[in-house]
Structure 1
Amino acid sequence: MRTIGSDILVNIRKGLLAVLFLLCTPALAEVAKDPFQEIAAKYLAADPKPVLSEEAHKYKVQAEFAVQEKRNDKAIELYGKALEIAPWWPEGHYQLALVLGETKKYRDAMREMKRYLLLAPAAPEARAAQDKIYQWESVAEPEAGRTFKDCPECPEMVELPAGSFDMGSNNGEADEKPVHPVAIAQPFAIGKTEVTQAQWRAIMGNDPSYFSTCGDTCPVEQVSWDDAQAFIQKLNARTGKQYRLPTEAEWEYACRAGKQQEYCGSDSGDSVSWNSFNSGSFFFNTPHPVATKQANAFGLFDMSGNVWEWVEDNYHDDYNGAPADGSAWMGGSMHVLRGGSWGYDQKFGRAASRSKFGSTYRYYSYGFRLARTLP
């Protein structure tokens, strides 16, 4: 006779079977997140192994000839066509990886070489293939927009590639001139948002913010440049990484994100920034939670508005003599702030706009975001 207890056991068994079914379903299993792993698994299990069709063989021969003729772009195209027909072809991924490496498309080269190793893990060339991946890793630039966190309480960081841009504005204030080219030689990471009150509290054990009731996801404010450095020292000790303030050039490079827009991510200040026009009533403006306005092309929030952001550099009256390599420009008594704030006219959130104050000065619209040296 079935009892209540036996019914419960039956239901438990059914539940466990359902869970096992979901875990074993290829569409939901971890391996299925990369469809190529399924291709590799089928290829390795095949006996005999498939052979190239005549059309795929044609593209193979043409790709090899393009390599001989030093027409690497054509070779990449032809190997790609062959692999569309025969994605399981190990040699094709290997040769395509080498050509991509020759053209300095290192991330694409690593992807193809990893696919080769999935298909031919015991091949004689496997050691050389893995060594190629190691070589390419050392020179591959990070993909813009890739994010990471070094600890649960750490700010989320966005990797930015090396690059160049024109810094400053000929239409703004005197200290924004002259417009000058800057080359950021090394990739770096920058905070996706301004450092929040919760992040500050987790590292420092307190909250100096005037608007502390704004909440954990509001930017920490009422911090000086020296306060930001103290936070960075503790964070570096906790993580073993090299966090720092961005240089002024890195900040503007990150703000512009490869574009020439008036603000950090738009020609409209209202769409990307909390400023005195939109952050409250006529007499009571406030900061707002981070990442509640539109991001820029690098996926960074609040680079215009919310709180002013300290950068590493000392302030100079103009850009005559400024470094062209993106490094910090020191040698002054004041430090630079960028981005405008919730309490200022939106024009102060322009990509080129600058402000300054002494390193010990605290104000309830002064905050910061982090940079980090890679790796």
Structure 2
Amino acid sequence: MRKCLAVVFILICAPAFAESTNDPFQEVVTKYLAAKPKPVLSEEAHKYKVQAEFMVQQKQPGKAMELYGKALNIAPWWPEGHFRLALLLGDTNKYRDATQEMKRYLMLAPDGPDARAAQDKIYQWELVVVPEAGKTSKDCPECPEMVEIPAGSFDMGSNDGEPDEKPVHHVTIAKRFAIGKTEVTQAQWHAVMGSDPSYFTGCGDNCPVEQVSWDDAQAFIHKLNAKTGKNYRLPSEAEWEYACRAGNQQEFCGSDNGNAVSWTSFNSGSFFFNTPHPVATKQANAFGLYDMSGNVWEWVQDTYHDSYTGAPIDGSAWDGDSSMHVLRGGSWGYDQKFSRAASRSKFGPNYRYYSYGFRLAMTLP
């Protein structure tokens, strides 16, 4: 029985929530509820349980989550394991995953001792779980593909990073908007502007356009809007980070593993010759957006401020008297730490560099 259940557990990586009638986890639930007597943890699963509890005591939640996961890989029917893992995920702001684990606990133990607390946690997390991204659209063959981003709230910034990433502040984006699925490519730039300013033209049409300034990006947007009759723009810095985080609090845009989602100086070439790479060749984040960490730095609309004190909390761009504009996301030529979700950079609006690019945004009705 245990081997069968372990096989079923491997299949639950599908993104659908557990209550879906097509979720393989339902088979685990059915077998567990019918079992008399209920199964008990094997010695190996019990070992991981004890080690996880010890890591909680040692205030190492990441290691504790890993160990609970190993125990559940052996015994996916273990209700308490799902409950404890859910609490840890919630404590580390991984609310979507926490909700899924807590729902699995309730499926296995609807009348369990922690059922009331589990449901109340789900109610709390519903306030901060960002809905899945919506449909994609493209206004012309050469236009960037845009992804509809739902309204929602998130905590912007980091208390563990640089001074200009503080203070962490809660931002509510009240209306949906669209943002580019990828950075603007060299082919898309050429189709609108009739030239390619990129240093790495040999990288190919599907590589991000680079060596463009903030002013250049505005010129591109002006021409694209005239061509399409639409209202493209740069994203605000808050919109950019909201789209990057996609309902999670991971270190990078879509993962805690930078190599999975970003091209940086760690992985984009040799020590002496790093380069950008074609867009969408790394893992997307939960909104289906590519390269928000790494590949090229991305201009946003905002002027630079050296802290978030006084920053807008409605997701709008923060204008000011600064001569600098903000860039986000890091690049192929920079250390991986600059590709963190909260990392920021700045430069003058007319400055061009071969790791500076952008992606588009659009207000939706």
> What's the TM-score bracket when you normalise by the shorter of the two chains?
0.5 to 0.7
Alignment equivalent of 1:275, drawn from 242, 264, 279 = 264
Alignment equivalent of 2:192, drawn from 203, 208, 212 = 203
Determine if contact 2:158/2:167 at 8 Å carries over to the other structure: yes
Partner of 1:152: 141
Structure 1 position 177 matched with structure 2 position 166:
yes
SS of residue in 2 equivalent to 1:304: coil
Q: 1:309 to 1:359 in 2, by over 3 A?
A: same
Partner of 1:229: 218
Alignment equivalent of 1:361, drawn from 307, 329, 351 = 351
After superposition, what is the alpha-carbon deviation per residue over 1:164-208, rounded to whole angstroms, capped at 9, x for unaligned? 000000000000000000000110000000000000000000000
Map of 1:59-70 to 2, 5 A cutoff?
A: none
Alignment equivalent of 1:349, drawn from 318, 336, 339 = 339
Partner of 2:41: none
Map of 1:74-93 to 2, 5 A cutoff?
A: none
Structure 1 position 328 matched with structure 2 position 294:
no
Determine if contact 1:145/1:299 at 8 Å carries over to the other structure: no
Q: Distance in 2 between matches of 1:369 and 1:240?
A: 18
> What code does the residue aligned with 2:256 have?
D
> What code does the residue aligned with 1:257 have?
A
SS of residue in 2 equivalent to 1:253: helix
Determine if contact 1:277/1:346 at 8 Å carries over to the other structure: yes
SS of residue in 1 equivalent to 2:171: strand
Q: 1:295 to 1:285 in 2, by over 3 A?
A: same
Determine if contact 2:134/2:150 at 8 Å carries over to the other structure: no
Residue 144 of structure 1, CA deviation: 1.3
Partner of 2:151: 162
Point out 4+ residue stretches in structure 1 off by more than 3 angstroms: none
SS of residue in 2 equivalent to 1:274: coil
Residue 256 of structure 1, CA deviation: 0.1
SS of residue in 2 equivalent to 1:249: helix
Residue 146 of structure 1, CA deviation: 1.1
Unaligned runs of 5+ in 2: 1-129
Determine if contact 2:329/2:339 at 8 Å carries over to the other structure: yes
Structure 1 position 291 matched with structure 2 position 287:
no
SS of residue in 1 equivalent to 2:188: helix
- TM-score norm. by structure 2 comes to 0.64
Partner of 1:135: none
Alignment equivalent of 2:364, drawn from 365, 369, 374 = 374
Alignment equivalent of 1:248, drawn from 237, 241, 245 = 237
SS of residue in 2 equivalent to 1:355: strand
Q: Distance in 2 between matches of 1:191 and 1:279?
A: 22
Determine if contact 1:142/1:187 at 8 Å carries over to the other structure: no
> What code does the residue aligned with 1:366 have?
Y
SS of residue in 2 equivalent to 1:336: strand
Q: Distance in 2 between matches of 1:142 and 1:261?
A: 17
Q: Distance in 2 between matches of 1:313 and 1:160?
A: 19
Residue 142 of structure 1, CA deviation: 9.5
SS of residue in 1 equivalent to 2:153: strand
Residue 145 of structure 1, CA deviation: 3.6
Partner of 1:82: none
SS of residue in 2 equivalent to 1:246: coil
After superposition, what is the alpha-carbon deviation per residue over 1:308-329, rounded to whole angstroms, capped at 9, x for unaligned? 0000000000000000000000
Structure 1 position 190 matched with structure 2 position 167:
no
Determine if contact 1:257/1:298 at 8 Å carries over to the other structure: yes
Q: Distance in 2 between matches of 1:218 and 1:144?
A: 24
Q: Distance in 2 between matches of 1:183 and 1:287?
A: 33
Q: 1:143 to 1:352 in 2, by over 3 A?
A: closer
Unaligned runs of 5+ in 1: 1-140
SS of residue in 1 equivalent to 2:227: helix
Determine if contact 2:132/2:287 at 8 Å carries over to the other structure: no
Determine if contact 2:153/2:171 at 8 Å carries over to the other structure: yes
Q: Distance in 2 between matches of 1:298 and 1:264?
A: 10
Q: Distance in 2 between matches of 1:179 and 1:143?
A: 24
RMSD in angstroms over aligned alpha carbons?
Answer: 1.2
Q: Distance in 2 between matches of 1:219 and 1:346?
A: 18
Determine if contact 1:142/1:159 at 8 Å carries over to the other structure: no
Q: Distance in 1 between matches of 2:219 and 2:249?
A: 34
Structure 1 position 340 matched with structure 2 position 342:
no
Q: 1:318 to 1:304 in 2, by over 3 A?
A: same
Alignment equivalent of 1:305, drawn from 282, 294, 297 = 294
Count of residue correspondences: 235
Q: Distance in 1 between matches of 2:273 and 2:300?
A: 27
Q: Distance in 2 between matches of 1:359 and 1:210?
A: 19
